[in-house]
């Protein structure tokens, strides 16, 4: 008999292992960049939506839900920060014991250049009794290495900015449980759960240390699914992003991300909304909330899935091949 454990029971335990730490000033550019075309079309929501080959960057647990033997995904786009190139690539391999994913992103723009690589591990940690009608609880982890070069301006200094080279080793963790209630899926993600950074500014000493609590983000997400016949299906995702929970010197900040996905046969239309900073870098430095809207479309012709999104001064396209 399987243990009757819900993902809700895991949340408190996850928080016990996450503590704030002192560290030098740094930018985690990957937090403010294109990760998934599907999620971006939904305003950044989708922690509980296992759709597309890049969703493992949104929630590390979602790779365990891949219904095929694996997937290969590649995309291209631009946004406010990386206005030259945002190039994501992902590979997911699955078997009966779980899944492993490999991700790489090259990000280039007027505020910096980033090479970001991640290895993903995921699998089922708790099975549910069939009588309960709930899905199993999947757990996933991303181990990421991010190297960035960006301008650093000293305070009260009008001279040209120096270059800062930043290296960050980061860990994201996530949980996912389908059918936590009827038609409702649930997810919990802690981004930058822990990490270590070492940086070098031109003309200055090196700095290193654990990442600070202000870089750690907790996301609680859910999706309500409604099927109308065999061909028509609607999904309503909603994610609440909680920032500064582990930084006592800063007030807590919250971001709502939601959207609507309608699927008719092999075609998908997506709309997204978020009340968040218009400049993604403000997710790190400040919170000036604005109403932002997104949209996107998708088509699936077995075994290929194509997805596109657009927003204000940003867009992206991704192709995923399932094998």
Q: How far is CA 285 from CA 25, 68, 214, in A?
A: 11, 40, 9
Strands (E), 182-288: 184-201, 206-210, 217-228, 232-243, 253-264, 267-277
- Closest of 144, 101, 141, 140 to residue 123, by C-alpha: 140
Element (H, E) at 305: strand 304-311
Mind listing the pLDDT tens digit of every residue in the chain (323 residues)?
A: 334 445 544 443 443 333 333 333 445 655 556 689 999 999 999 999 998 889 999 999 999 988 788 999 999 999 888 889 999 999 999 988 899 999 999 999 887 899 999 999 999 998 865 456 788 999 999 999 999 888 765 554 555 667 888 899 999 999 999 999 999 999 999 999 999 999 888 777 788 888 888 888 999 999 999 999 888 999 999 999 998 888 888 888 899 999 999 999 999 999 999 988 877 666 656 677 889 999 999 999 999 999 999 999 899 999 999 98
Other Cβ atoms within 10 Å of 181 Cβ, number: 12
Quick one: CATH architecture of 8-322? Beta Barrel (2.40)
Residue 250 pLDDT = 84
Tokens standing for residue 81: 């920060």
**pLDDT for res 280:** 65
Residue 288's nearest CA partner among 278, 273, 302, 303 is: 278
- For the chain, give the number of residues: 323
> Which pLDDT does position 153 carry in this prediction?
57
Q: What is the pLDDT of residue 94?
A: 93
Quick one: which of 261, 231, 257 has its CA closest to 242?
A: 257
114 preceded by cis ω (within 30°)?
no
What was the pLDDT predicted at 260? 98
Structure tokens at 58: 């949104």
For residue 17, what pLDDT is reported? 37
The pTM score is 0.87
Separation between Cα atoms, residue 80 and residue 279, nearest integer Å:
7
Q: Are the CB atoms for 187 and 10 separated by under 8 Å?
A: no
C-alpha 215: how far from chain center: 14
3-state secondary structure of 54: coil
Computed over its alpha carbons, how large is the radius of gyration of the chain? Answer: 19
Domain-by-domain residue ranges, the chain? 8-322
């Amino acid at each position: 008999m399987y243990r009757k454990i819900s993902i809700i029971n895991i949340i408190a335990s996850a928080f016990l292992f996450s503590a704030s730490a002192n560290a030098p000033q740094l930018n985690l550019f990957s937090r403010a960049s294109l990760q998934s075309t599907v999620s971006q079309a939904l305003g950044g929501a989708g922690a509980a939506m296992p759709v597309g080959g890049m969703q493992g960057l949104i929630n590390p647990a979602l790779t365990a839900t891949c219904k095929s033997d694996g997937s290969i995904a590649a995309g291209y786009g631009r946004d406010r920060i990386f206005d030259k190139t945002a190039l994501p690539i992902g590979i997911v391999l699955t078997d009966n014991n779980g899944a492993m994913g490999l991700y790489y992103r090259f990000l280039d723009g007027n505020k910096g250049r980033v090479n970001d690589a991640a290895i993903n591990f995921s699998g089922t940690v708790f099975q549910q009794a069939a009588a309960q009608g709930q899905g199993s609880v999947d757990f996933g982890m991303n181990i990421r290495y991010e190297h960035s070069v960006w301008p650093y301006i000293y305070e009260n200094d009008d001279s040209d900015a120096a270059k800062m080279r930043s290296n960050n080793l980061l860990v994201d963790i996530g949980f996912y449980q389908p059918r936590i209630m009827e038609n409702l899926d649930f997810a919990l993600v802690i981004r930058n759960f822990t990490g270590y950074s070492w940086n070098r500014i031109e003309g200055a000493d090196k700095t290193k240390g654990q990442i600070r609590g202000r870089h750690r983000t907790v996301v609680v997400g859910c999706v309500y699914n409604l099927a109308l016949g065999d061909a028509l299906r609607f999904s309503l995702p909603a994610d609440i992003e909680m920032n500064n929970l582990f930084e006592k010197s800063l007030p807590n900040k919250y971001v709502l991300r939601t959207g609507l996905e309608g699927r008719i046969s092999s075609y998908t239309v997506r709309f997204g909304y978020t009340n968040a900073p218009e400049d993604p870098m403000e997710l790190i430095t400040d919170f000036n909330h604005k109403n932002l809207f997104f949209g996107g479309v998708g088509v699936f012709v077995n075994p290929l899935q194509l997805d596109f999104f657009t927003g204000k001064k940003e867009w992206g396209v991704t192709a995923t091949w399932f094998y």
